Amino acid sequence: MSKIERINQVLAEYFEKNKNISRVPAMDLMGEFVKAGIFNCDYEREGLPIRKVLRELDKTGQLNLIPYVVAERKTRNTSWFFAPIK
């Protein structure tokens, strides 16, 4: 299973267990991704591993591979969130 498939699996399970959550910052789910073995650890800059993945997918036009992602684009940067699939 690829890293993207594993990320999607963690997100599906998270939103299945937390039906009342409509949106969560990507960095807040780093603990779930580490627990699932997708990333080894988080860093001082919270959420950096998942943000790197999302930036790379965005740069290559493949952000749609993670249907849970919501990008809030600002002038200088992008804030990353996850939301349940509608």
Q: What is the pLDDT of residues 53-62, one digit of tens each?
A: 999 999 999 9
- Sheet of 78-82: strand order equals 24-25, 78-82, 69-73
Residue 85's pLDDT band (cuts 50, 70, 90): very high
Q: Taking the model in full, what pTM does it have? A: 0.91
Per-residue pLDDT for 79 more than 90?
yes
**What's the pLDDT at 74?**
92
Q: Where are the alpha helices (DSSP H) in 2-72?
A: 3-17, 30-35, 48-59
The pLDDT mean for the chain works out to 93
Place of tokens 């599906």: 12
pLDDT tens readout for residues 14-47? 999 999 999 999 999 999 999 999 998 767 668 8
